[in-house]
Amino acid sequence: MPAGVLPGWLQGFTTAQPITQIVDAARSVLTGGAVHASGAAWASLVWCAALLLVLGALVLRRRRGVA
């Protein structure tokens, strides 16, 4: 569902989600559009790196506590 059809308060929330950035980047690649035009590719890479760092740190902390 395009974010433009959602209520205004929900549009801001929707565009800040990592899955939205990833889907927008994939859509740009699949439709032959310019990936760098929307910035979605960089935003999705930043989201993935941030999630990897945060969740990786949590896993390592929990793993060390168990061992």
Regarding pTM above 0.85, the answer is: no
Q: What is the pLDDT of residue 58?
A: 93
- Burial letters 15-46, b for 16+ CB under 10 A, else e: eeeeebbbebbeebeeeeeeeeeeebbebbee
> What are the sequence ranges of the domains in the chain?
3-66
Q: What is the pLDDT of residue 64?
A: 85
